[in-house]
Structure 1
Amino acid sequence: MLNDEHSHGLWEKTAPPAPKTEPLRGDISVDVAVIGAGFTGLSAALHLAEAGTKVAVVDAVDIGFGGSGRNVGLVNAGMWVMPNDLPAVLGQLHGERLLELLGNAPQSVFNLVDKHQIECELERKGTLHCAVGKSGLKQLEQRAEQWQARGAAVHLLDAAETAAKVGSSAYTGSLLDNRAGTIQPLGYVRGLARAAQAIGVAIYTRTAVSATERSGSRWLVRTPSGTISADWVIVATNAYTTSPWPALRAELLHLPYFNFATTPLPENVRDTILPERQGGWDTKEILSSFRMDRAGRLVFGSVGALRGTGMAVHKAWAARSIRKLFPQIKDVTFEAGWYGKIGMTSDNLPRFHTLAPNIISFSGYNGRGIAPGTVFGRLLAEHITGRVSGADLPLPVSQPKEEGMRGLREGYYEVGAQLAHLVGNRL
């Protein structure tokens, strides 16, 4: 997108074409204006339209331009936070409510893919959280115990079982989450857009919002080429938020994350790597993720930005790491490399904000955008249509709170990842 091969990489090469859209021109009136054409915004628009609500979606660039079109494609359940820690942070009511919602969230994604016949390379084989060393295994033992106590379909695998599923003997164990899976994320978000358009949602791209203002009992959403009059406004821009909501940007720390995709591997090699087609990631602080696509490409990623010296450093590290993790790949050749921004919060949990009367937002997915974004979008729709009250939402209403020394810390993440990858292998 925007003639930048490092923005969406493999996903832009292999996703079905985006549905046709145009910039907003002129003034329109709808029930709900949605800002941001990613997982949350398009899920909200789709569910609103199914309930008979008139909706318009605007995006400053294009469908899936932000994290929705750049991420690894792991459809995970829950958040990074340990299950037992959520009630401690959010309170028992909201904590358990969020755990139940996000535990079932991957199935909501799968249901939408099936219902709307979305072409996104869906695999429902689960995901593998892989333990590095004894400390990593202990962490996974705790996570497994806490999820199993809630009846979740997760299983702790030993080193031999993990080696059989990953195709590598590098790990001391893993947590198999059978609720989860993988998708081609840009294909999925474009499919949501196509489904929303089919039932009447208007989607306008290359349409940046410059301001919102009250006009009687309604809101005017202003853009350079027209306005949208609406009763409600959903802000679904997360890590790619710009004006007129700087407070949403200020509460998030941007963590850069990259992926490299190999050329399609020979069939005899691809059958030895993730043979059941789970996606995986590890327990290291600067983690790595890996998965296969339908054509047999290995997609391998970690923290870092592919710009400046970062491109060469991270590419060399990825090649070294793949050779160490999967020695059966004799020649590591990359077909694509891309990166984006993850919106991190101080406690690694998402936020629900009422930015003004009838302007609402979920943000802060902390690298878990696919399933949470999908179900939070549905919840926003149900809240607006009166099916879910504010008291029944899984997160309490909060006010954006600026993260201190944000610029310095974001620079540290980017430079720190380069330094770690400059000298490090994978394990």
Structure 2
Amino acid sequence: MKERCLWQSTSLEPSLNLDALQGDHCADVVVIGGGITGLSTALHLAEGGVDVALVESGDIPSGGSGRSVGLVNAGLWIPPDDIMAALGEEDGERANAILGAAPADVFSLIERHGIDCQATRTGTLHLAHNGRGEQELARRAEQFQRRGAPVELLEADACRERVGTRRIRRALLDRRAGTLNPTAYTRGLARAAKAAGARLHTHSAVVGVARAGDDWRVTTDRGSVTAPRLVLATNAYTEDRWNEVRHHFFPGHFFQVASRPLPASLAGDILPEGQGAWDTRMVLSSMRRDPEGRLILGSLGKGEGKPAAFLRCWANRIQRHYFPQLGTVEWECTWTGRIAFTPDHTLRLFELAPGVLGVSGYNGRGITTGTVVGKGFARYLISGDDALLPLPIRAPKPIRARSLRSSGYEGGFTLYHTGQCLRVLS
């Protein structure tokens, strides 16, 4: 089992040949970060006639945008009423409406720009792993249906047919959602942004940002871009001391393990309609199949640095629990991505200084949230209207004890997975 990202090796969208930033340049807007948020921002700005330059420290993608499960989910991690409790009635319903419609924005971009990312629009499945999970799904279903969302509780045989396991008796099907190859989607956004006129530069790590009169000067090791407005789209991969976004999330991780392609005769009844799924465990398990028939399992926590035997043991435990009909599975590869968490599980949008926009805290919903935030940032920068953003732009307080929170999460995830491997937890 090799440590490599499956999505990069199976992407049908090729990597773009982009130059590093060299020399001194000017633009209307500089975007730092070449993930989904930054590329969506650059694409929509360029389509609006704005001269935009984007700088990325690595390849596109090199961070979490290309390493996720690839679920095109609606909403945030927590259900609609909990969002309102965290954000207030007005902001909460605004977030519910915009993020509830976010999968449609993603699929619209895919269709409009011909992005070959193996997208499906058959929904996603939230699986109840026990009686308490069944009650939680009923609570979520009622809240979504009250707002007119096309979700359905599947029971008994209907549930087994959609998932392919007898271990699950209830699942919540969200027809707004779907799946894709996240590396291919991100590369497709980059291709579309470049075609629209955005200037994209990879291998151009920013070493500093400073005032230059009324403008901002973004400096890399071989060049600079000066512009009156700046977007910090670094989110979970924010590490530099000059970048104030780092104070507004605490980092976590999500690892995945992919099998070798399985024959349809053996695995064809597992998620047969192509949905991605995750369960209601305290430390969730995700599962989906790719177009070549691989079974892909994932969970919260860092896989990097853990022994392959540990990851293989965990994957075997989950596979044999849910899909014992597969027998012995050979695991092909594993990879880890980073997540930006916030204490209330909601995102933060802010203007850190005049003309400097930032975002953090997607809490594992980066594909859809990043897409609509980029679109909303572009509208705000062009017209001053923030109506397309899931939340108003504010000045939230920094998160306290970030390192302690991260360590606590990771320690808890590792302990939980160890319990699963030892069969102390199911």
1:418 matched to 2:410? The reply is: no
Given that residues 34 and 233 in structure 1 are in contact (C-alpha distance below 8 angstroms), is that contact kept between their aligned partners in structure 2? yes
User: Quick check: 1:372 aligned with 2:369?
Assistant: yes
- 1:295 is displaced (CA, Å) by 0.5
Aligned partner of 1:29 in structure 2 is: 26
What is the match of residue 395 of structure 1? 391
* 1:402–1:349 Cα change, 3 Å: same
2:174 is aligned to 177
Q: Is the 8 A contact 1:314 1:422 kept in 2?
A: no
CA distance in 1, matches of 2:208, 2:350: 18
CA contact (8 A) 1:210 1:224 kept: yes
**Alignment partner of 1:303 is 2:283:** no
Q: What SS does the aligned partner of 2:125 have?
A: strand
Which among 119, 122, 142 is matched to residue 122 of structure 1? 119
- TM norm structure 2: 0.95
**Residue 403 (structure 1) shift:** 3.1
Gaps of 5+ in 1: none
**Is 1:334 the equivalent of 2:331?**
yes
What is the identity percentage for the equivalent residue pairs of Structure 1 and Structure 2?
A: 45
Report the equivalent of 1:258: 255
The 3-state SS of whatever aligns with 1:213 is: strand
Q: 1:227 aligned to 220, 224, 228, which one? A: 224
- Of 109, 114, 122, the match for 1:112: 109
Please give the alpha-carbon distance, in whole angstroms, between the structure 2 residues aligned to 1:104 and 1:390.
17
Distance 2:341 2:184 in 1: 24
What SS class does the counterpart of residue 338 from structure 1 fall into?
A: strand
**Where do 1:343-382 residues align within 5 Å?**
343-382=340-379
Tell me, in whole angstroms, the C-alpha distance in 2 between the residues paired with 1:308 and 1:127. 30
Matched, 1:43 2:43: no
| 1:422 partner letter | T
1:236 partnered with 2:233: yes
Query: What is the Cα deviation at residue 102 of structure 1?
Result: 0.5
Gap runs ≥5 in structure 2: none
CA contact 1:235–1:361 (8 Å) conserved in 2: yes
Determine whether 1:88 maps to 2:88: no
1:165 paired with 2:171, answer: no
The SS at the match of 1:212 is: strand
TM-aligned CA deviation for residue 89 of structure 1: 2.1
Matched residues in 2 for 1:391 and 1:12: separation? 34
Q: CA deviation at 1:207?
A: 0.8
SS at 1:385's partner residue? helix
User: Following the alignment from structure 1 to structure 2, what is the Cα–Cα distance between the partners of residues 181 and 390?
Assistant: 27
Give 1:245 deviation, angstroms: 4.3
- Classify the secondary structure of the residue corresponding to 1:250: helix
Residue 175 of structure 1, CA deviation:
0.6
1:100 aligns with 2:118: no
Tell me which moved more, 229-238 or 388-397.
388-397
In 2: Cα distance, 1:282 partner to 1:86 partner: 20
Change beyond 3 A, Cα 1:235–1:396: same
- Counterpart Cα distance in 1 of 2:400 and 2:167: 38
C-alpha distance after superposition, 1:62-86 (max 9, x if no partner): 2121110110000000011220122
In structure 1, what is the Cα distance between the partners aligned to 2:53 and 2:243? 22
What amino acid maps onto 1:50 in structure 2?
E
TM-score, normalized by length of structure 1? Answer: 0.95
Measure how far apart 1:390 and its partner are: 4.1
Residue 251 of structure 1 and its aligned partner are, at CA, apart by 2.5
1:270 aligns with 2:267: yes
5 Å-filtered alignment, 1:172-211, equals: 172-211=169-208
Whether contact under 8 Å (1:79, 1:349) holds in the other structure is: yes
Contact 1:305/1:311, CA 8 A, preserved across alignment: no
Give the superposed CA RMSD. Answer: 1.6
Q: Do the aligned partners of 1:68 and 1:369 also contact (CA within 8 Å) in 2?
A: yes
Write the distance in 2 (CA, Å) between the matches of 1:237 and 1:325: 36
Aligned length: 421
Deviation at 1:419? Answer: 2.3
Pick from 52, 56, 79 the counterpart of residue 59 of structure 1. 56
Q: Deviations over 1:336-382 (max 9, x none)?
A: 10001111001000000101101101221000000110011000000
Deviation at 1:308, TM superposition (A): 3.0
* Residue 292 of structure 1 pairs with residue 289 of structure 2: yes
1:402 and 1:87 map into 2 onto residues whose CA distance is 21
CA contact (8 A) 2:98 2:389 kept: no
Q: CA deviation at 1:400?
A: 4.9
CA distance in 1, matches of 2:21, 2:389: 32
Structure 1 SS opposite 2:144: helix
Q: What is the CA–CA distance in structure 1 between the aligned matches of 2:89 and 2:405, rounded to whole Å?
A: 32
Structure 1 residue 310 displacement after superposition: 5.0
Task: Give the corresponding residue for 1:405.
Answer: 401
* AA aligned opposite 2:90: L
